[in-house]
């Protein structure tokens, strides 16, 4: 079964083709990705209407690029998968509309995929793929969650953010420091030259006894420091960036370790955009080494939104007999969609 995956939830247009034949792990045949960073940079953040229009322009050329790279024709596709949610409503509708139109024209089924499940399963695209069960630290955009993953569709929520997610804490703090969009990577790069001990910032819910997260208070603390520094912000920005990153990473690592200890599992999977953070990887590697726990990360290019993770998730759902294949070609999108609703 060849699965065409379409990702359009926010500011990346991703298309991929995956072979999910038989019971073997789905194999990536080709993928292409277009980032809208340059488009949104002038506005300091994603403009939903511009994002939707750009998806419309990019999707079909990217699809042809993927088919050419894989040496296949559109008629060779057996299933068209798309991101149904969560994400920006207009952007999601572009991918859903295209997927269902293609599926109808081909007489093949369509399948809507949860964006976060795509991230959750993205490490299976790696050569060093994990095995079930594992604890997953899902740190993607506006989502920070810890999950007990027993198999495809077998997810137990252990803890999640009650306000701002880790990615939002990075981006909002970066904006307070005057860094360009997208803020998180710029803050992390600036932090490399700073002193993380120069500012004392809070670690919200670090000792709460549960596995939930909260980063809104950290953002407020960064704002307070920026206001205190006044004209000196530029001079001290690297130190404040380093202190901010350290606070976020401290909480993520501590909660991940607590989740591993609570479940008794010896495997951790990290997925989502923040999973590309170098300090987070270093700190998790060190903590898990002490625990005798194996850590799996997707390659850096799989941390961002992409079509491969959507095609992969669709293929794994079909193999697990969890997919409800749609041949009516009607569709709706779920801008807000809890991953818990997918639990088998």
Mean pLDDT of the chain: 95
Give yes or no for residue 251 having a pLDDT over 90. Answer: yes
Give yes or no for residue 164 having a pLDDT over 90. Answer: yes
Give yes or no for residue 327 having a pLDDT over 90. Answer: no
What per-residue confidence (pLDDT) applies to 209? Answer: 95
DSSP 74: G
Each residue's pLDDT tens digit, 212-225: 999 999 999 999 99
Lowest-confidence range among 139-143, 144-148, 339-343? Answer: 339-343
The domain ranges of the chain are 2-121+302-342, 132-297
Each residue's pLDDT tens digit, 28-50: 999 999 999 999 999 989 999 99
Of 334, 340, 313, 339, nearest in space to 79 by CA: 313
What's the predicted TM-score (pTM) here? 0.95
Per DSSP (E only), the strands in 185-341 are 267-271, 294-296
pLDDT band at 342; cut points 50, 70, 90: confident
DSSP 326: B
Each residue's pLDDT tens digit, 176-232: 999 999 999 999 999 999 999 999 999 999 999 999 999 999 999 999 999 999 999
Of 119, 87, 83, nearest in space to 271 by CA: 119
pLDDT band at 57; cut points 50, 70, 90: very high
Contact 291, 260 (CB under 8 A): yes
The fold of 2-121+302-342 is Nucleotidyltransferase; domain 5 (3.30.420)
Each residue's pLDDT tens digit, 60-77: 999 999 999 999 999 999
pLDDT band at 22; cut points 50, 70, 90: confident
The fold of 132-297 is Nucleotidyltransferase; domain 5 (3.30.420)
Q: 């992390």: which residue's tokens?
A: 188
Give yes or no for residue 344 having a pLDDT over 60. Answer: no
Taking the C-alpha atoms of residue 95 and residue 44, their distance in angstroms, rounded to an integer, is 24
Same fold, 2-121+302-342 and 132-297: yes
pLDDT band at 141; cut points 50, 70, 90: confident
Each residue's pLDDT tens digit, 79-121: 999 999 999 999 999 999 999 999 999 999 999 999 999 999 9
DSSP 339: G
């Amino acid at each position: 079964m060849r699965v065409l995956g379409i990702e359009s939830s926010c500011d990346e247009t991703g298309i991929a083709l995956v072979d999910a034949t038989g019971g073997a792990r789905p194999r990536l045949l080709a993928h292409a990705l277009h980032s809208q960073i340059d488009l949104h940079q002038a506005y300091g953040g994603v403009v939903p209407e511009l994002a939707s229009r750009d998806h419309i322009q990019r999707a079909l050329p990217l699809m042809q690029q993927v088919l050419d790279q894989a040496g296949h024709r559109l008629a060779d596709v057996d299933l068209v998968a798309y991101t149904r949610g969560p994400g920006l409503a207009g952007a999601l509708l572009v991918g859903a509309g295209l997927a269902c139109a293609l599926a109808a024209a081909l007489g093949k089924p369509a399948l809507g995929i949860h964006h976060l499940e795509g991230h959750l399963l993205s490490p299976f695209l790696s050569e060093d793929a994990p095995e079930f069960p594992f604890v997953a630290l899902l740190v993607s955009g506006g989502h920070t969650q810890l999950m007990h993953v027993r198999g495809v569709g077998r997810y137990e929520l252990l803890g999640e953010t009650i306000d701002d997610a880790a990615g939002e804490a990075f981006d909002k703090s970066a904006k307070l420091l005057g860094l360009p969009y997208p803020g998180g990577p710029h803050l992390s790069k600036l932090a490399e030259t700073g002193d993380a001990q120069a500012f004392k910032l809070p670690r919200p819910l670090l000792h709460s006894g549960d596995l939930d997260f909260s980063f809104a208070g950290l953002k407020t603390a960064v704002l307070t420091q920026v206001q205190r520094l006044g004209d000196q912000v530029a001079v001290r920005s690297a130190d404040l960036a380093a202190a901010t990153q350290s606070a976020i990473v401290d909480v993520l690592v501590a909660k991940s370790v607590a989740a591993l200890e609570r479940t008794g599992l010896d495997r951790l999977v990290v997925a989502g955009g923040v999973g590309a953070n170098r300090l987070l990887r270093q700190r998790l590697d060190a903590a898990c080494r002490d625990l005798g726990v194996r850590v799996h990360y997707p390659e850096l290019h799989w941390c961002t939104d992409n079509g491969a993770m959507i095609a992969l998730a669709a293929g794994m759902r079909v193999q697990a007999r969890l997919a409800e294949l749609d041949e009516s070609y009607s569709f709706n999108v779920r801008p807000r969609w809890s991953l818990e609703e997918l639990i088998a």
